[in-house]
């Protein structure tokens, strides 16, 4: 594909691709003062007026109106940059060099875009689902489902209740009122090993199709759900998982972060940035043969190579093997490490099993907040300067401010804070879905919904437990960095970031 912009600047290939500006949905975008209008058949082939909401707000002097296109006038616009009312299209719009056959094919494709309503949407309802690993801790399962069910109940299942309270006046409010549907929530509970999940997901979907998945929780991997969403083009919003699928081709699944891969890469970058004199000895990583342990260990191994850090030793322990003073003495004697990394959900019945004598311990011990939760980890006071926590969540000193809105929401509904991060993350996902749907104005395209998720995540009214959330076009991991926390001398918990916010290179 070849084109020119601004009369003489040539474009070719991806540079000239319509999707770059008009996006996959065909509903357009805005960048600064440059507006790419909708190019779906519905938008092009009828007289249009852009509403007061959305990325095209504040258009003046009739710029938001144009007469309906025909095949002939659309062909002229594509080739020459002139619209049906003889106005010159903006300089950012390429003028394409297309033969008659290619042009007919393109026009036919534009006519077909967004012509049907997505599965899960009827004239009265829009259905969502959340996926729950049946092996999940019952307390966590309850915390997540209570938030979702309460959120749906808050709006009486019908977001128009909000509009009836005068949220939006005028044309925009009228369009939203007519576009909204009653919300319904299904719980898809997975049983057995992950290998059996895809068949279960497909059975649920055949019986009751959904528009999107909201939240969700799993103890280990999310691969079957991820593959299902990519196959059936179902948006999945921010499941609570430590092992998200890290893929360059992911389109439909959004995650809070890259989970254990992020923690591993952040630590490797931190260690790689230290002086050689601070890295005398080996690095020992301790893990079990479960999915979380092996994935974390491999990610750390790869990240150390990338950061030119040598001397890694592996210590794989049994499923029920506990850490003891004898374990630490053995590691120190045989490997002489300056750092030990524990990729463990639980250290065992005796906790970390740290001896009282610092002399038999390495200078630094790193734990995973993603695996341990980062709470209530007993560390002897004499050893607190050696133990650090890899922490991709909001740092403790900022929690009061960042969690204020979700805490107020929970408190006003009589809900306790038993699993606060999980509750805040679930509320974030549900509220973000509401904000995105708020902008669709009846265009129930999943691709358009995804584009609004990308647009709204950074400015979501209800923050998650993760800091610095932001998404750009095509990005699917919203929080991209990690802290390394240590104890302060007068504190009983992790409060002090070591080295600031670490964003690994990608």
Contact predicate 402/505, CB 8 Å? no
Residues 201 and 278 occupy one common structural domain:
no
Residues 323 and 380 occupy one common structural domain:
yes
d(CA 253, CA 239): 9
Q: Is residue 464 part of a domain?
A: no
| Percent of the chain scoring above 90 in pLDDT | 51
Contact predicate 353/322, CB 8 Å? yes
d(CA 413, CA 407): 10
Residues 176 and 243 occupy one common structural domain:
yes
Say how many C-beta atoms besides its own lie within 10 A of residue 164's C-beta. Answer: 10
Residues 386 and 272 occupy one common structural domain:
yes
Domain of 379 in residue numbering reads as 261-391+483-497
Residues 131 and 239 occupy one common structural domain:
yes
Q: What is the mean pLDDT of residues 264-276?
A: 90
Mapping DSSP to helix (H, G, I), strand (E, B) and coil, where does residue 300 land?
helix
Looking at 63, 88, 112, which one is the last position of a domain? 112
C-alpha distance across the termini of the chain, in Å:
30
Residues 218 and 287 occupy one common structural domain:
no
- Nearest Cα neighbor of 479 from 498, 489, 464 is 464
Residues 488 and 343 occupy one common structural domain:
yes
Contact predicate 155/161, CB 8 Å? yes
Q: pLDDT tens-digit profile of 236-265?
A: 999 999 999 999 889 999 999 999 999 999
Residues 132 and 65 occupy one common structural domain:
no
For the chain, helix (H) and strand (E) counts, in that order, are 17, 19
**Residue 431 class from Cβ within 10 Å (0-12 exposed, 13-18 middle, 19+ buried)?**
buried
230: phi then psi, degrees, rounded to nearest 5: -65, -40
| Percent of the chain scoring above 70 in pLDDT | 88
Counted domains in the chain: 3
Q: What is the mean pLDDT of residues 349-356?
A: 77
428: phi then psi, degrees, rounded to nearest 5: -55, -45
pLDDT reported for residue 223: 96
pLDDT reported for residue 90: 83
pLDDT bin (cut points 50, 70, 90) of residue 283 is very high
* 482 Cβ contact partners less than 8 Å away, ≥ 6 residues apart: 257, 262, 263, 266, 267, 390, 391, 392, 501, 502, 504
Q: Is residue 118 part of a domain?
A: no
d(CA 443, CA 450): 12
H or E element at residue 179: helix 170-179
pLDDT reported for residue 30: 77
Q: pLDDT tens-digit profile of 419-442?
A: 999 999 999 999 999 999 988 877
Q: What is the mean pLDDT of residues 67-86?
A: 88
* 278 Cβ contact partners less than 8 Å away, ≥ 6 residues apart: 338
Q: Is residue 302 part of a domain?
A: yes
Mapping DSSP to helix (H, G, I), strand (E, B) and coil, where does residue 59 land?
coil
Q: Is residue 466 part of a domain?
A: no
pLDDT bin (cut points 50, 70, 90) of residue 63 is very low
Q: Is residue 117 part of a domain?
A: no
Q: pLDDT tens-digit profile of 289-310?
A: 999 999 999 999 999 999 999 9
Residues 211 and 162 occupy one common structural domain:
yes
Which tokens belong to 282? 């080996």
Q: Is residue 268 part of a domain?
A: yes
How far, in whole angstroms, is CA 436 from its chain's centroid? 14
Q: Is residue 475 part of a domain?
A: no
Residues 270 and 173 occupy one common structural domain:
no
Residue 283 pairs with which residues in a beta bridge? Answer: 312, 339
Q: Is residue 440 part of a domain?
A: yes
Contact predicate 93/20, CB 8 Å? no
- Lowest pLDDT segment from 187-191, 379-383, 468-472: 379-383
- Nearest Cα neighbor of 147 from 215, 208, 212 is 215
Say how many C-beta atoms besides its own lie within 10 A of residue 317's C-beta. Answer: 18
Residue showing tokens 């890899």: 390
Residue showing tokens 């921010």: 238
SS3 readout for 363-383: CEEEEEHHHHCCCCCCCCHHH
d(CA 307, CA 327): 29
Residues 344 and 490 occupy one common structural domain:
yes
129: phi then psi, degrees, rounded to nearest 5: -140, 160
Q: Is the pLDDT of residue 61 over 70?
A: no
Q: What is the mean pLDDT of residues 44-63?
A: 51
**pTM for the model:** 0.88
Residue 286 pairs with which residues in a beta bridge? Answer: 315, 342
- Nearest Cα neighbor of 337 from 314, 318, 356 is 314
d(CA 141, CA 385): 35
pLDDT bin (cut points 50, 70, 90) of residue 58 is very low
d(CA 28, CA 43): 11
In order, the DSSP letters of 101-166 are HHHHHHHHHHHHTT-SPPTTB-SSEEEEEEEEETTS-HHHHHHHHHHHHHHHHHTTT-THHHHHTT
pLDDT reported for residue 160: 55
d(CA 429, CA 438): 14
- Nearest Cα neighbor of 57 from 19, 28, 84, 82 is 28
Residues 378 and 415 occupy one common structural domain:
no
CATH of the domain at 169: 3.40.50.2300
Which tokens belong to 428? 């974030």
d(CA 157, CA 163): 13
């Amino acid at each position: 594909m070849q084109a020119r912009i601004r009369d003489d600047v040539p474009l070719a290939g991806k540079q000239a691709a319509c999707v770059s500006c008009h996006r996959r949905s065909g509903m357009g975008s805005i960048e600064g003062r440059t507006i790419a209008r909708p190019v779906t058949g519905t938008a092009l082939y009828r007289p249009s007026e852009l509403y007061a909401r959305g990325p095209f707000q504040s258009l003046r002097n009739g710029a938001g109106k144009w007469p309906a296109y025909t095949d002939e006038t659309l062909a002229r616009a594509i080739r020459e940059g002139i619209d049906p009312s003889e106005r010159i299209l903006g300089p950012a719009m390429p003028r394409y060099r297309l033969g008659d056959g290619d042009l007919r094919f393109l026009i036919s494709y534009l006519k077909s875009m967004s012509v049907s309503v997505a599965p899960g949407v009827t004239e009265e309802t829009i259905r969502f689902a959340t996926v729950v690993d049946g092996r999940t801790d019952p307390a966590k399962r309850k915390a997540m489902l209570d938030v979702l069910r309460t959120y749906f109940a808050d709006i009486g299942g019908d977001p128009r209740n909000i509009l009836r309270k005068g949220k939006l006046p005028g044309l925009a409010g009228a369009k939203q009122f007519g576009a909204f549907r009653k919300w319904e929530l299904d719980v898809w509970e997975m049983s057995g090993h992950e290998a059996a999940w895809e068949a279960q997901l497909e059975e649920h979907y055949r019986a009751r199709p959904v528009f999107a998945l909201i939240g969700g929780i799993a103890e280990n991997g999310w691969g079957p759900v991820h593959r299902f969403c990519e196959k059936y083009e179902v948006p999945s919003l921010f499941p609570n998982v430590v092992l998200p699928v890290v893929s360059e081709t992911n389109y439909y699944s959004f995650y809070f972060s890259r989970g254990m891969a992020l923690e591993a890469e952040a630590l490797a970058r931190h260690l790689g940035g230290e002086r050689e004199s601070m890295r005398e000895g080996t690095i020992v990583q301790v893990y079990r043969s479960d999915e979380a342990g092996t994935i974390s260990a491999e990610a750390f191994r790869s990240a150390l190579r990338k950061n030119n850090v040598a001397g890694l030793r592996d210590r794989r322990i049994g499923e029920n093997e506990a850490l003891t003073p004898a374990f630490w003495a053995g590691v120190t004697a045989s490997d002489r490490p300056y750092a030990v990394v524990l990729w463990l959900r639980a250290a065992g019945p005796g906790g970390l099993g740290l001896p009282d004598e610092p002399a038999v311990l390495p200078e630094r011990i790193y734990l995973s907040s993603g695996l341990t939760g980062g709470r209530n980890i007993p560390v002897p006071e004499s050893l607190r300067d050696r133990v650090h926590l890899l922490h991709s969540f909001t740092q403790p000193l900022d929690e009061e401010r960042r969690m204020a809105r979700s805490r107020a929401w929970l408190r006003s509904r009589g809900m306790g804070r038993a699993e606060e991060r999980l509750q805040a993350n679930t509320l974030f996902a549900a509220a973000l879905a509401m904000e995105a749907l708020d902008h669709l104005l009846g265009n129930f395209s999943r691709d358009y919904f995804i584009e609004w998720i990308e647009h709204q995540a950074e400015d979501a009214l209800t923050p998650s437990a993760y800091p610095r959330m932001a998404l750009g076009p095509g990005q699917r991991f919203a929080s991209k960095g990690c802290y390394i926390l240590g104890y302060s001398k007068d504190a009983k918990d992790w409060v002090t970031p070591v080295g600031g916010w670490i964003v690994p290179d990608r």
